[in-house]
Amino acid sequence: MGTVVSVRLGDSDADAAELVGTVFRRWDEQFSLYREDSELSRVARGDLRLTAASQSLRDCYALALNWRECTQGVFTPHRADGVIDLSGVVKALAIAEAGAALTACGQANWSINAGGDVLVSADAGHPEWVVAIVDPGNRGDVIAKVPLGHPLRAVATSGSAERGEHIWTALNGEPSPFRQVSVFAGDIVTADVLATAIVAGGEATLNEMTERFTIDVLAVLRDGQLLATPGLRRAE
């Protein structure tokens, strides 16, 4: 997936860590557009019709289309050239599956970090996990430290600080007013999708998504100012 995945476990278990690696490799092998042999690359080239693709690929595409509807088209699984790109949901789905696998094998306290998108689990006797949100203007600085637990177990960050202007926007060709957006949610798919959608849709999408979903948001404007939802301001 072109990123680093790290796992922290309350109880060290090499087999559990390898299980996470297996999950991510399988998702990458099927959905990476950087792999010529992936199923999604075959669909993109026209070698495989979408209707003939695997059920899992079609399910991912349906999920992405559902999020497109939920965000009024701001989030989309289609690139400008028409190619289906499911990276907006695939990494989050891989994180979610890996977390479920850890829980199923008896791990109660864990965190998974895939390129800055984080999902955690902790039992009552474990201290809260704390995530640090880096400053997009200086990657060596931290602008906030936020506890993750119940009900918000996940955080995803999107923006232009690391990869440049790579997110298509619905702002009549104008760049997003946000340099970076971090969304805290109860599940990693919601966090990941809405972080991208808010960057793409600007303040109107930020306002709409915070009204419709149980999330908290920390956004960095182009001039460096911070916008934080009430839940994050109370946590400070």
pLDDT in tens, the chain (236 residues): 678 899 998 777 788 889 999 999 999 999 999 999 999 999 999 999 999 999 999 999 999 999 999 999 999 999 888 999 999 999 999 999 999 999 999 898 999 999 999 999 977 667 789 999 999 989 899 999 999 987 889 999 998 655 544 455 555 667 889 999 999 999 999 999 999 999 999 999 999 999 999 999 999 999 999 999 998 865 55
Distance, in Å, from the CA atom of 167 to the CA atom of 159, rounded to the nearest integer, reads 8
Distance, in Å, from the CA atom of 125 to the CA atom of 70, rounded to the nearest integer, reads 37
Distance, in Å, from the CA atom of 34 to the CA atom of 36, rounded to the nearest integer, reads 6
Centroid of chain to Cα 69: 18
* Dihedral over Cα of 196, 202, 206, 209: its sign: negative
Q: Which CATH class is domain 7-232?
A: alpha beta
pLDDT at 168: 55
| Domain limits, the chain | 7-232
What b-and-e string marks burial along 192-223, b requiring 16 or more CB atoms within 10 Å of the CB? Answer: bbbbbbbbbbbeebbebbbeebebbbbbbeee
**Taking a C-beta distance cutoff of 8 angstroms, is the pair 132, 117 a contact?**
no
Q: 82: which 2 tokens?
A: 């028409």
